[in-house]
Amino acid sequence: MASLTALLYLVAAVLFILSLRGLSSPKTALRGNLYGMVGMAIAVATTFFVANKPVVWLIVGAMAAGAIVGAYKARTVAMTAMPELVAAMHSLVGLSAVLIAVAAVFHTGVSHTGAQQIELFIGAFIGAITFTASVIAYGKLSGKFGARAVNFGGQHLLNLVLALAMVGLGFTYYATGSQAAFLMMLAIALVLGVLLIIPIGGADMPVVVSMLNSYSGWAAAGIGFTLDNPVLIIAGACVGASGAILSYIMCKAMNRSIVSVLLGGFGAEVAAGGASDGSKKNYRSGSADDAAFLMENAEKVIIIPGYGLAVSRAQHALQELTDLLTERGVDVRYAIHPVAGRMPGHMNVLLAEAEVPYERVVEMEEINSEFSSADVVLVIGANDVVNPAAKNDPNSSIYGMPILDAYKARTVMVVKRSMSAGYAGLDNDLFYMDKTMMVFGDAKKVVEEMLQAVH
């Protein structure tokens, strides 16, 4: 029986690894999801049958309830609400790690070795931080708590004191097995999770979501050691490592320090410049008909989607417009910034929902060299990721952040509701260039008007 269990866990672990590999590309994402689901089914079934006297009705009931809620949310969640849904799911992973650790510590008649106590401590405090941090991230992303950073005097010192106290209580639990010390450690970790996230502004939420994903994986891996479950260790390590790597890549793309994000903005420098000085600037505006005429007569068009596209649900109409322009001989492609939207891959999922061909969706590193040869760039709902201040204004808070080089195109058209600043609160010099035409209105309505004009 032990050999069969080990074999099944190995199969499940391999499927999880293949799942991550499949999810690395839109073309293989469906297959990657399938691998993951099959692997999880094998892992759950194996664990169920090797468990010592499982409470069947409780386990099956919890699984059924989770399946019902998960299926309902998957079918009803709006694409704009996907980031906060992911944050909420991360919170549940962290909470489950905490509850498993508490159950293990208070399990009567079971003694833990020193190594197991360390594993319980690590898994529990990471899980606790993940839980409360994810709840705050959910609130910021959904607008319930506000997206602004919350700072106060002595914030970093307080975080340091709490972290040292948490580690000290962990050592106390290791040395004495004190359940009270373990619970106090958990309480501090829960508070620390809140304090680490509140000083991070809404513009950095994509990195936070990715990092919380990593935390949830490490929490699961830590608890896997306690439960002596190899597949949980492997799955948690894969999630933790991939989330950490993605967070690092995104920090590079946003010119942020990953250490600052990990420590709640510790050591982050806040630039004073980059915001609008309140002076009147001239800009050129046009209509949807003007935009359609320019795109019809172009040879090469690059479309840059942003969060505004997701809010207005304009992706389907945009894809119809793209197909029509392509039929008329226009080369149309989509340029994706690594942090466009509110979570990693947000724009890719949005375009996939509209059945945009994968070959038309191009990442920033590949397409930036082509903007200078583009006749028209259409920016829809994006702001900070095309802001030239990131390259030419050392006083800007986004200076040094890689951007999509839309300003190099012959003509730039920007679809926005107004001239308001983007998510980072910065004015955008691109909007005031002579080559730029602003088209004001709801993105979906504007794109539909363009579509009618092209017809």
Give the residues across from 335 on adjacent strands.
362
Among residues 228, 289, 384, 393, the one annotated as catalytic is: 384
Q: How far is CA 373 from CA 197, 319, 323, 445, in A?
A: 42, 22, 21, 29
Tokens encoding 433: 């260039």
118-150 residues labelled b (16+ CB within 10 A) or e (exposed): bbbbbbbbbbbbbbbbbbbbbbbbbeebebebb
For 335, phi and psi rounded to 5 degrees?
A: -105, 125
The radius of gyration computed from the CA coordinates of the chain, to the nearest angstrom, equals 25
Judging by DSSP bridges, how do beta strands 331-336 and 361-363 pair with one another? Answer: parallel
What spatial distance separates the first Cα and last Cα of the chain, rounded to whole Å? 67
How many C-alpha atoms does 22 have within 13 Å on its Cβ side?
16
Q: Which residues of 264-292 are buried (b: 16+ CB within 10 A; e: fewer)?
A: bbbebeeeeebbeeeeeeeeeeebbeebb
Sheet holding 376-380, edge to edge: 361-363, 331-336, 300-305, 376-380, 411-416, 436-440
- Let me know: does 413 contact 437? Beta carbons within 8 Å: yes
User: How far is residue 97's CA from residue 216's CA, in Å, rounded to a whole number?
Assistant: 8
Q: Which tokens sit at 177?
A: 């097995």
Please name the residues in contact with 240: beta carbons below 8 A apart, sequence gap of 6 or more. 214, 215, 216, 217, 218, 220, 221
Work out the burial of residue 164: count CB atoms within 10 Å of its CB; fewer than 13 is exposed, 13-18 middle, 19 or more buried. exposed
Q: What count of other Cβ atoms lies within 10 Å of the Cβ of residue 365?
A: 10
384 is catalytic: yes
């649900």: which residue's tokens? Answer: 313
Q: Which residues are identified as catalytic?
A: 384
